[in-house]
Chains A and B, each alone.
Chain A
């Protein structure tokens, strides 16, 4: 797994950023437990969906290509804002539109909603990316995680800005 800490630069930087975030997403899965019953079988695939914006889909697809986390093969699915249901991991790009609506729409089941920007957590997302000191950071909403019935490892929490909303 190649981890690159890159400084943000225009255009190119965005690509790098997407790559890093995609890698992070894959890593998140390592440190989060979905509740019992999420998967019918132990080796059922884990659907990683994206309601996109901005080239993240390719990066994400590339990142999860061939990976199996905790026995679940990661499967990419392009979702729409209207129908974001059916995945365990959902990335909602900032250009996707009404984030909270999407989150609500996707909700109910245990979905790890990941997004970017300040308002994502407010909108009800679990993990939100942000940049600090030119480094990729993320914040985690324990409330949202609880609502989604997701168990987030303390190890991950330690690395994140924990938000209790």
Chain B
């Protein structure tokens, strides 16, 4: 862009107007000067032509009749024109007939012979040869030399003066322009100012002043309309905002209410949940407690059983230990030591001591009796130790068995009746042995069924233990009988004894919690056994004729699946 972008409209307009005007003027001047120049030349040529025609025609007779003087006098009339510097007439053969030279012209500069018709232009002169015609035929030639330096000078002066004139005119034009261009720039400037203000103050109530009905006016109208529109919209937006705000406030209130409601509900729920959880926990706890209690009961049973059985065995252990202690205490080792001392005392003359002393003499016999006694001691100790070892091993068995039983409690598995009964008996073995109780086995050793091994074992251990205690009163012939009966849907295992029996009045209470006839009993055993049986879907029954008539406890268990005796 020739115009710089950041010039103001006013300046641009001025520049445009001045620029275009200047260019136009310059072009005009140049064009006119050139035109004038060309015209001048053209005019001069025409003039010469004209002169030639006129003068020449006047000369035709002179030329035809070769009258030099006459020709001379005719062309001398050209002296009237100061610009004509030289003229010459040539005859039909091209020879000089007559000439005219203005003052100061050099005669030698005149062409000697006629040249071809035409013009020669130089800085000072315009020269031409013109044909002189008579009746359509060329009868002679005329030479004219015009001095046109004046005219040229005038043209040049024009060329010099014009720029000055242009400048002056431009100056005036500029001044005029300053006023006139306002009618274009002012509306635009005003609009621009208004726009700036609007933008700066964000004030949409402003309006631009309208100056004219032209495009600036259209712009102004449009601008004002836009402002109008923006103002209206602002108002609308504002109103909407107010609405929205009030809606939002209302909404907040509602939300707060709802939130409060929800919170209340929530806390209620929380409370409820806490309560439930507590109840649940309590229930779980209770259940755990129950389980624990039952477990403990079971365990207590087991522990009781173990303790009972171990206790029995421990009696033997205790006795053995005591015996060992007594024997060791009464050992003849002391005597041996004394004998050794005696020998030591007499080591100087050992031979004499042995042969002469009273005591010495009896040494061999003494030693042999001593050794016999000590051998007896040793044998006795050994025997006791063996028994001790056996008892301890038994204890370990009992404990191990309980441990293994404790681990698999609650698991339904296939058991063999025989194994079950034998295990139960094994645990009570020591006691049974000590109390010299005879066990009569009356069961089908091959029979198998699915049950909770641990529970049944516990029951059996209990019953057997009870039976053992029951027969304790008899001085002799203590008997326990283990029986087994398989039916279509049940298995019955019975433990009978010929002990103290049970009084009819106690029959109902015998399975109650805490009922015991034992001196140190807890009353758990039968109760937990009854519970266990019920848990498994079965029962325990007791039958007794009365006191001193023995009793029979029968465990009845439902048969899930009893394998055939010899099935795989």
Name the residue on A nearest B134 (C-beta): A30
Pick from A1, A69, A153, A158: contact of B70, CB under 8 Å? A158
Given A1-B139, A30-B134, A70-B135 in contact, is the A155-B61 Cβ separation under 8 Å? Answer: yes
CB <8 Å contact, A27 and B135? no
Say how far B59's CB is from chain A's closest CB, in angstroms: 8
CB <8 Å contact, A3 and B65? yes
What 1/0 flags go to B51-66 for Cβ under 8 Å of A?
Answer: 0000001101110111
Say how far A54's CB is from chain B's closest CB, in angstroms: 22
A5: Cβ under 8 A from any B Cβ: yes
A31: Cβ under 8 A from any B Cβ: yes
Say how far B475's CB is from chain A's closest CB, in angstroms: 207
Pick from B58, B61, B91: contact of A3, CB under 8 Å? B91
What 1/0 flags go to A24-37 for Cβ under 8 Å of B?
Answer: 10010011000000
Of A5, A155, A158, the most chain B CB neighbours within 10 A belong to: A155
Contacts of A70 in B (CB 8 A): 135
What 1/0 flags go to B343-359 for Cβ under 8 Å of A?
Answer: 00000000000000000
CB <8 Å contact, B66 and A5? yes
Given A3-B91, A159-B70 in contact, is the A24-B135 Cβ separation under 8 Å? Answer: no
A156: Cβ under 8 A from any B Cβ: yes
What 1/0 flags go to B87-122 for Cβ under 8 Å of A?
Answer: 000011100000000000000000000000000000
- Bound Cα distance A1, B138 (Å): 10
CB <8 Å contact, B70 and A27? no
CB <8 Å contact, B61 and A31? yes
Say how far A66's CB is from chain B's closest CB, in angstroms: 13
Contacts of B58 in A (CB 8 A): 155
B276: Cβ under 8 A from any A Cβ: no
Q: Which residues of chain A from 1 to 50 have a CB within 8 Å of any chain B CB?
A: 1-3, 5, 24, 27, 30-31
Contacts of B67 in A (CB 8 A): 159
Q: Which residues of chain B from 15 to 74 have a CB within 8 Å of any chain A CB?
A: 57-58, 60-62, 64-67, 70
Given A1-B139, A3-B91 in contact, is the A159-B134 Cβ separation under 8 Å? Answer: no
CB <8 Å contact, A27 and B92? no
- Bound Cα distance A27, B93 (Å): 16
CB <8 Å contact, A159 and B91? no
Give the number of A-B contacts (CB < 8 Å).
38
Name the residue on A nearest B73 (C-beta): A158
Contacts of A3 in B (CB 8 A): 64-66, 91-92
Name the residue on B nearest A5 (C-beta): B66
Say how far A158's CB is from chain B's closest CB, in angstroms: 6
Say how far B487's CB is from chain A's closest CB, in angstroms: 179
- Bound Cα distance A2, B64 (Å): 9
CB <8 Å contact, A69 and B135? yes
CB <8 Å contact, B135 and A158? no
CB <8 Å contact, A159 and B92? no
Contacts of B62 in A (CB 8 A): 155, 158-159
Name the residue on A nearest B67 (C-beta): A159
Contacts of B57 in A (CB 8 A): 155
Q: Which residues of chain B from 315 to 336 have a CB within 8 Å of any chain A CB?
A: none
Bin the interface of chain B by size.
10 to 19
Contacts of A153 in B (CB 8 A): 61
- Bound Cα distance A50, B481 (Å): 213
- Bound Cα distance A165, B470 (Å): 220
Contacts of B91 in A (CB 8 A): 3
Of B60, B62, B66, the most chain A CB neighbours within 10 A belong to: B66
Say how far B139's CB is from chain A's closest CB, in angstroms: 7
Contacts of B60 in A (CB 8 A): 30-31, 155
Q: Which residues of chain A from 85 to 133 have a CB within 8 Å of any chain B CB?
A: none
- Bound Cα distance A5, B66 (Å): 8
- Bound Cα distance A30, B358 (Å): 229
Contacts of B70 in A (CB 8 A): 158-159
CB <8 Å contact, A24 and B134? no
What 1/0 flags go to A69-80 for Cβ under 8 Å of B?
Answer: 110000000000
Name the residue on B nearest A153 (C-beta): B61
- Bound Cα distance A153, B66 (Å): 17
Say how far B76's CB is from chain A's closest CB, in angstroms: 14
- Bound Cα distance A24, B65 (Å): 7
Pick from B61, B66, B92, B139: contact of A158, CB under 8 Å? B61
Name the residue on A nearest B139 (C-beta): A1
- Bound Cα distance A69, B66 (Å): 19
- Bound Cα distance A70, B70 (Å): 24
Contacts of A159 in B (CB 8 A): 61-62, 65, 67, 70
- Bound Cα distance A112, B445 (Å): 198
Q: Which residues of chain B from 211 to 258 have a CB within 8 Å of any chain A CB?
A: none
Contacts of B65 in A (CB 8 A): 3, 24, 27, 159
Name the residue on A nearest B68 (C-beta): A5
Say how far A42's CB is from chain B's closest CB, in angstroms: 14
Contacts of B92 in A (CB 8 A): 1, 3
Say how far A151's CB is from chain B's closest CB, in angstroms: 14
Say how far A2's CB is from chain B's closest CB, in angstroms: 8
Name the residue on A nearest B57 (C-beta): A155
Contacts of B66 in A (CB 8 A): 3, 5
Name the residue on A nearest B60 (C-beta): A155
Say how far B450's CB is from chain A's closest CB, in angstroms: 167
- Bound Cα distance A153, B92 (Å): 20
Q: Which residues of chain A from 58 to 76 have a CB within 8 Å of any chain B CB?
A: 69-70
- Bound Cα distance A153, B135 (Å): 13
Name the residue on B nearest A156 (C-beta): B61
- Bound Cα distance A61, B138 (Å): 23
What 1/0 flags go to B491-503 for Cβ under 8 Å of A?
Answer: 0000000000000
Name the residue on A nearest B66 (C-beta): A3
- Bound Cα distance A5, B93 (Å): 14
Q: Which residues of chain B from 517 to 567 have a CB within 8 Å of any chain A CB?
A: none
Of B70, B93, B134, the most chain A CB neighbours within 10 A belong to: B134
Contacts of B134 in A (CB 8 A): 30
- Bound Cα distance A27, B60 (Å): 10
Name the residue on A nearest B63 (C-beta): A3
- Bound Cα distance A153, B134 (Å): 13
What are 30 contact pairs spanning A and B, CB under 8 A?
A1-B64, A1-B92, A1-B139, A3-B64, A3-B66, A3-B92, A5-B66, A24-B65, A27-B61, A27-B64, A27-B65, A30-B60, A30-B64, A30-B134, A30-B135, A31-B60, A31-B61, A31-B64, A69-B135, A70-B135, A155-B57, A155-B58, A155-B60, A155-B61, A155-B62, A158-B62, A159-B62, A159-B65, A159-B67, A159-B70
Given contacts A5-B66, A69-B135, A158-B61, 8 further A-B contacts (CB under 8 A): A3-B64, A3-B92, A24-B65, A30-B134, A30-B135, A70-B135, A155-B60, A159-B67
